[in-house]
Amino acid sequence: MRLQLSTNSDIHKILQIINDAKVYLKSQKIDQWQHGYPNKSQIERDIANNESYVLTNDANQVIATSMFSIRPEPTYKFIDGKWKIKESEKYGVIHRLAIHKNHRKKGIASFILNEFHQLLKKQHIRSLKIDTHEDNHEMQYLVKKLGYVYCGIIYTEYNAKRFAFEKVIF
């Protein structure tokens, strides 16, 4: 498997994966990604900012996608709780992580998060932050399993409540 920056030629595959994830979340009665987000223009912005990644398998098929950035996340500035690392210190952030429906439950999300941990280590950035819907127990289980700690509640730019987690990498 190979994690790489996305290109415009990946947009169609990324949107397929995200749309399948929207269907899956709805089937689990999770009101996340059900109101037009994420969408094509968001993915295009991620690609333009060099913050969109795809994971390809050995057959060079796109099997997962994620946004990863080291720019400060505006919605993380205010938290009902406390981050492990000070807000003024650089950190990584992940959004829009989705796995192709035929590749779920195979450790791919763990692989992607670990790859991002390695990218941060190389840049001497000590933490990775992520947020998820309060009903998205699968994502909460995953991040806790990987050593993330619950830090509190943040609200997205569209005022949706999210549980915030952080992992101190080193």
Q: The domain spanning residue 60 has which CATH number?
A: 3.40.630.30
Q: Residues 36-62: pLDDT tens digits?
A: 889 999 999 999 999 999 999 999 999
pLDDT of residue 131: 97
Is the whole model's pTM more than 0.85, yes or no? yes
Record the tokens describing residue 145, joined without a space.
């399993």
Number of domains observed in the structure of the chain: 1
Q: Helix, strand or coil for residue 7?
A: coil
Euclidean distance between CA atoms 122 and 54, whole angstroms: 20
Q: Are 43 and 11 in contact (CB under 8 A)?
A: yes
Judged against a pLDDT cut of 80, whether residue 67 lies above it is answered with yes
Domain with 118, as residue range(s), is 2-168
Q: What rounded mean pLDDT belongs to the chain?
A: 96
Judged against a pLDDT cut of 90, whether residue 110 lies above it is answered with yes
The pLDDT of 109-137, averaged and rounded, is 97
